[in-house]
């Protein structure tokens, strides 16, 4: 049995780059950018008018001119109309490209316009005002979004603005999620009194959609030969196998021995934690990784978020996000195991993350995870945890 930190280090050492692929922009949301995205032109690409009003030469204002003949009206998207005399202006709209022969914009609020002339009503004019200068945000060739960024709505907008109709993104590992256990029946079935419905694989499949992984599902009966045949196929077809169940000390827990038969090298079996103690992790010579998670739903869920997700994040290039929260009440856990307490994580008006334990029935209580949104990780070395103490926390739902 190894410590949580050792298990984590062994798994993180197996993080692997699965390569790069190109996807259309409309399918890129939630993927990870594989290369630096660069501006194809300056941002803004021209001196962009930032207020509706008139554009003048500042020199004229400085020399005392207050009334300007309106030379042209220029909307956003119009070709700039140049001005060649000091007493002329363009009426000009937000988003328009400033003509090169003017340098200052005065907003409508500071003007009176009638009979084809505009009169400035204020003396507070600065050269270059109300203009968003070309290249001020980014210059052509500058990185607008660095590699290894999760592609979110803001990045989609920036990609559109630099003309990226498709994006190079990190390839996702091919994942199969396998349930074992002869007590399991399909969702639509009416279970016999000693049977239950499959749920873990659906949970895992749903959780992986956060990173756009479309995991395939497979069920294998608790039969040594079936397990061996199916796993052998999976070792050829996928990059990662996530198993749920079949790894305890039971007589029908064939998974560890079959995996070793199939030359999946055990990197560890059993972690000093609750839930999830029987967790098995290994690697085939061809590189396929096997996360064999305990079949108990809360154990499966915890191991997925504590071990698999950080491995995935590292593999696709995302930075590690460490989150800490303060315990809302005193809590006691006696066993010499790292305890993953189901908590409801909230943010108080002081901006502090508070972890409130949910009343529950230990590792078996999966129903609680509907109300909880994180696991608080309580170190194995301690038994008494005090209100206000801060520990690392593993959110499994967005906080907002």
397's CB contacts (< 8 A; 6+ apart) are 373, 374
Phi, psi for residue 49 in degrees, rounded to 5: -65, 130
Q: Do strands 117-120 and 143-145 pair parallel, antiparallel, or not at all (unpaired)? A: unpaired
Among 73, 119, 225, 384, binds a second copy (CB under 8 A): 73
Residue where the block lists tokens 């003949």: 69
Query: Element (H or E) spanning 289, and its range?
Result: strand 289-293
Among 54, 83, 96, 343, binds a second copy (CB under 8 A): 96
Q: Does 162 bind a second copy (CB under 8 A)?
A: yes
Q: Does 178 bind a second copy (CB under 8 A)?
A: no
Residue where the block lists tokens 């949910």: 358
The residues in 254-293 that bind a second copy, with binding defined as CB under 8 A, are none
Closest distance to a second copy from the beta carbon of 336 (Å): 15
Q: Does 91 bind a second copy (CB under 8 A)?
A: yes
Reduce the DSSP state of residue 30 to 3 states and report it: coil
Q: Are 334 and 32 in contact (CB under 8 A)?
A: no
Q: Does 206 bind a second copy (CB under 8 A)?
A: yes
Closest distance to a second copy from the beta carbon of 285 (Å): 30
Q: Does 336 bind a second copy (CB under 8 A)?
A: no
Q: Are 342 and 360 in contact (CB under 8 A)?
A: yes
Cα gap 107→55, rounded to integer Å: 9
Comparing CB distances to a second copy, the nearer of 142 and 239 is: 142
Q: Are 53 and 98 in contact (CB under 8 A)?
A: no
Comparing CB distances to a second copy, the nearer of 104 and 200 is: 200
Q: Does 396 bind a second copy (CB under 8 A)?
A: yes
Which segment (6-14, 63-71, 265-273, 321-329) binds a second copy by CB under 8 A? Answer: 321-329
The residues in 299-318 that bind a second copy, with binding defined as CB under 8 A, are 301
Q: Are 76 and 96 in contact (CB under 8 A)?
A: yes
Q: Does 187 bind a second copy (CB under 8 A)?
A: yes
398's CB contacts (< 8 A; 6+ apart) are none
Among 63, 115, 190, 236, binds a second copy (CB under 8 A): 190
User: How many of the chain's residues bind a second copy (CB under 8 A)?
Assistant: 115
Site string for a second copy, 219-258 (x = CB under 8 A): ---x----------------------x--xxxxxx-----
């Amino acid at each position: 049995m190894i410590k949580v930190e050792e298990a984590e280090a062994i798994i993180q050492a197996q993080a692997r780059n699965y390569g790069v692929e190109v996807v259309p922009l409309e399918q890129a949301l939630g993927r990870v950018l594989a290369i630096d995205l660069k501006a194809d032109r300056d941002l803004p690409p021209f001196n962009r008018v930032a207020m509706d009003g008139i554009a003048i030469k500042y020199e004229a204002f400085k020399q005392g001119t207050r009334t300007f003949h309106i030379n042209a009206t220029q909307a956003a998207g119009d070709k700039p109309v140049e001005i060649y005399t000091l007493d002329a202006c363009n009426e000009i709209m937000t988003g328009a490209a400033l003509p090169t022969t003017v340098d200052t914009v005065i907003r409508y609020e500071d003007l009176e316009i009638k009979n084809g002339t505009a009169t400035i009503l204020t003396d507070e004019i600065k050269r270059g005002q109300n203009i968003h200068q070309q290249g001020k945000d980014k210059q052509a060739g500058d990185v607008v979004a660095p590699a290894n960024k999760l592609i979110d709505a803001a990045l989609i907008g920036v990609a559109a603005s630099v003309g990226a109709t498709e994006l190079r993104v990190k390839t996702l590992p091919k994942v199969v999620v396998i349930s074992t256990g002869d007590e399991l029946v399909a969702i639509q079935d009416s279970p016999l009194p000693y049977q239950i419905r499959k749920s873990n694989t659906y949970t895992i499949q749903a959780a992986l959609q956060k990173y756009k992984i479309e995991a395939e599902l497979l069920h294998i009966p608790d039969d040594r030969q079936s397990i061996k045949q199916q796993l052998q196929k999976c070792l050829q077809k996928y990059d990662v196998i996530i198993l749920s169940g079949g790894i305890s000390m039971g007589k029908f827990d064939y998974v560890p021995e079959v995996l070793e038969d199939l030359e999946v090298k055990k990197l560890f079996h059993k972690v000093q934690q609750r839930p999830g103690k029987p967790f098995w992790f290994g690697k085939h010579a061809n590189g396929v990784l096997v996360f064999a998670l305990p079949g108990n739903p809360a154990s499966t869920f915890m191991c997925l978020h504590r071990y698999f997700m950080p491995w995935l994040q590292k593999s696709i290039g995302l930075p590690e996000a460490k989150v800490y929260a303060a315990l809302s009440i005193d809590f006691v856990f006696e066993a010499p195991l790292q305890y993953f307490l189901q908590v409801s994580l909230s943010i108080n008006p002081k901006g502090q993350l508070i972890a409130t334990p949910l009343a529950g029935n230990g590792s078996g209580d999966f129903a609680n995870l509907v109300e909880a949104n994180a696991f608080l990780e309580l170190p194995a070395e301690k038994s008494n945890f005090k209100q206000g103490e801060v520990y690392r926390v593993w959110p499994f739902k967005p906080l907002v």
